[in-house]
Structure 1
Amino acid sequence: MSTGIIIAIIIIVLLLLVIVAFAAMYNGLIKSRNFVDNAWSQIEVQLKRRYDLIPNLVETVKGYASHEKGTLENVIAARNATMNAKTPHEAAEASNMLTSTLKSLFAVAEAYPDLKANTNFQDLQKQLKDTEDKIAYARQFYNDTVTKYNNSIQTIPRNIVAKMFGFEPKELFDAGPEEVREAPKVQF
């Protein structure tokens, strides 16, 4: 074999290796982005569950605390704002507002011993606490997934492939100010 043929074969093999490596990096980025989308979807599932619980909770409280109309309206407004959020940042802000208003609602419940003893109210409290725990876990999982994705599109050599195909960093789900980082206290 002549040296020209050997050099051509080596160049072809190297070119094939570069193409395979390029394809592997691209596919890895696609998988990472899909994991982020899935993690966000899991947060939305838990937020939807919380949205569904809130009207029942408000109706239960209404029967006992009808003159607390402002607090109940704030909870519903915060719930609606959360449902209309489009981005992780908007969802985080709205979720923080909802958490704050739920704290107010449970503070109102403190003033009504009959309400605290109501089986429906206690069941809704437990369900809401469980949902808040699931939301916290889903947020953590989402943020871990986003961090891995962002790292993968910002480190060499994948950053080259990411820039070529327009992969953009994703936002973390921020819990907001320190005072709203705790789940609403639903047990008395």
Structure 2
Amino acid sequence: MTSKPRQRNIPKEKFVARDIEISNVTLYDLYEKDVKIISKEFGIPPIVELHKDNQGVTIGFSIKLMLDDWLGEFKVEIIENVEKKGICLAVKKYRYALRPIHDEDDFFRFDHDSYLDPEYPAEHINADETKYHKSHFTFPYDLDVDLQKVNTGNMITAIRYYLNKNVHPVVDRGREYIQIIQ
């Protein structure tokens, strides 16, 4: 008589948020800096939502800017969600995207999502798969740019660099963007 092997119930790995932690800046200072730099660069302030706890104390913020016709040539998307986490701040999500209106295949989008399935990297750059031979680029496998160092300020600089040099952030492992995103 043979018996079948007994199935083991292996517990699934407990999900852990993969936040990007920021220190040495207050929530208010980061919020003020990001709103100011976005407003200056794009000529309009982003939509801002403050997150409050049960006592009405601000514990985080979300920033969103969507432009369908920036400079007559580009669609722009900026999203940032930040929360207090102990003595640090935690970036829960970011998205910085630039898409040419007349050549939508030459887009780039920097993404971070703390709650993305752990099977996938929390940070990546999206690009056109046909043009760049894959659609998701991650650090350190495909890029030399540490995507945990992405923030609103250096992304505005990266967008300006792209406009001036026309070098896509995934070309040559993103090496031209290392000095910008640090």
- TM-score bracket for this pair, using the shorter chain length: under 0.3
Bigger helix fraction: 1
Larger Rg: 1
> TM-score by structure 2 length?
0.26
